[in-house]
Amino acid sequence: MDPLLSLGAGLLLLALWVRHKGLEYLLVHHRWVFVCLFLLPLSVLFDIYYQLRAWAVWRLHSAPRQHGQRVRHIQAQVREWKNEGGKTYMCTGRPGWLTVSLRVGKYKKTHKNIVINLMDILEVDIERQVVRVEPLVTMGQLTAHLNPMGWTLPVVPELDDLTVGGLIMGTGIESSSHIYGLFQHTCLAYELVLADGSLVRCTPTENSDLFYAVPWSCGTLGFLVAAEIKIIPAKKYVKLHYKPVRGLEKICEKFTEESKKKGNNFVEGLVYSLEEAVIMTGVLTDEAEDGQINRIGNYYKPWFFKHVEKYLKANQTGIEYIPSRHYYHRHTRSIFWELQDIIPFGNNPVFRYLFGWMVPPKISLLKLTQGEAIRKLYEQHHVVQDMLVPVKSLEKSISTFHSDLNVYPLWLCPFILPNNPGMVHPKGDEMELYIDIGAYGEPKTKQFEAKASMRQMEKFVRNVHGFQMLYADCYMNREEFWDMFDGSLYHKLREQMNCKNAFPEVYDKICKAARH
């Protein structure tokens, strides 16, 4: 009974303290208490529910049969909106807090919400090497389904809860993107319900304008109801080579050199200061050397970015064999390095062994429970941004990130950008190597002010012919936005398909200057 009495007394004292200080104080200054006691257990229950549901759907083979019925229901909702006079814009009925983006979309309260309950894998066609999925299928769900079959996606964007629809309508990237491009470049076909309620399939040869205009459009051309994605044979391990590099010029030279090597299946860099980084290159393999296998995805293992930092501190190279699925989701448990600001002791061995199996908390639950005070605090004193810049501007870009933000680590991920039609393509006529620079954390620069500092960053990115990922806070005005992105095809299709009265323009949907 003694342990139970101690636990009861502890909970009583906690309740009294919360009552004295107030719930908002707890959520703002000691958020880890709420996260550990409530959100971690809830996140586990969420995972169990969705895993059981996916297993049942797979066993019963019900997804392909129900898909057509669900799509017809979406079409019926759109036609109902049209028959009622189309008085407001349409958007998906998925609650804003369920998305991985930290942005809070207020438009959900004023637009016509179309219920889209499409979260299943429809078909794996081994002969064509294609998987057909619904838009709410997640990366974790896909790798769990494909890897045991011996297949994987060419590009597996990092976090488990990222959805296919979000990665197509927004964008997605991984350390294999220097070979395959962005997530959109691995997609072979999209199926959409348009503003008139019709169902359309588009590919590079069929309705090709729509196919190239859909990525980055953020659901403002139609409702995505299915996608076909290329799959490739999987292997058991990633042979990962860690290389510490010092000196900004050397970091950029080495990273560029490795990014251009097609023999590297994966290339990634973690920049720990302006002059220090670890560059990682990986090769897929079915064989592993004894004693060098690191199952980094196990709950009790150190967070990946902390594990990588050990090579920098020891100033030594290293080679490990990481199981493929563990590698694909290597940053998931720590949400890159965001979780250290929420649970400061989360990487402590005691915490990992006792509670690591519940980590990470769902980003959606963190959003749902953050409250206005935390939201404003994050908006003013926290940065979550991915800027895509040409490799020739890498050194200048890292220096700019340092002076304007001073957030570390920085994530470096190379990708090839083909000269396809659409909102995002190189300035010239040829495909070009770009780098995604990801900054996630609290800026340490003294002069940081959210709006002014980010507008300065956005101007820099425009000047080097780069792009800003649209999941993050965007402060550009309309003219600046369409200077960064090519809107020619997008606007042409919105006119042709009568989207202007059905969906907001992408700028009005995502930019802070336009949202009310």
**pLDDT tens-digit map of 59-117:** 777 777 899 999 999 999 999 999 999 889 999 888 877 777 766 667 778 889 999 99
Q: Residue 368's pLDDT band (boundaries 50, 70, 90)?
A: confident
pLDDT at 2 exceeding the cut of 70: no
Q: Is the pLDDT reported for residue 220 higher than 90?
A: yes
300 CB-near residues (< 8 Å, 6+ apart): 349, 352, 353, 356
Where is pLDDT greater, at 510 or 496?
Answer: 496
Q: What's residue 108's pLDDT?
A: 79
- Give 1's pLDDT tier (boundaries 50, 70, 90): very low
467, two tokens: 């792009």
Reply yes or no on whether the pLDDT at 5 is more than 80.
Answer: no
d(CA 245, CA 49) in angstroms, rounded, equals: 44
Say what percent of the chain tops pLDDT 70: 92
pTM, whole model, 2 decimals?
0.91
* Element holding 440 (H helix, E strand): strand 432-441
| Cα–chain center distance at 154 | 16
276-285 and 266-273 as β-strands: parallel, antiparallel, unpaired?
antiparallel
Q: How confident is the model at residue 516 (pLDDT cuts 50, 70, 90)?
A: very low
Q: Supply the pLDDT for residue 32.
A: 84
What pLDDT shows up at residue 513? 64
Considering only 72-76, 276-280, 508-512, which range has the smallest mean pLDDT? 508-512
Residues facing residue 386 across a β-bridge = 438
Q: Looking at residue 56, what is its pLDDT?
A: 82
* Percentage above 90 pLDDT, the chain: 74
Contact indicator for 423, 485 with CB cutoff of 8 Å: yes
Summarize pLDDT for 129-171 with one digit per residue, the tens. 999 999 999 999 999 999 999 999 999 998 889 999 999 999 9
Confidence bin at 22 (pLDDT 50/70/90): low
User: CA-to-CA distance for 456 and 312, rounded, in angstroms?
Assistant: 31
Specify the DSSP class assigned to residue 470: T
Q: Using an 8 Å Cβ cutoff, are 91 and 85 in contact?
A: no
pLDDT number for residue 15: 60
Predicted local confidence at residue 29, as pLDDT: 56
Counted residue by residue, the chain has a size of 516
Please give the structure tokens belonging to residue 294.
């690191």
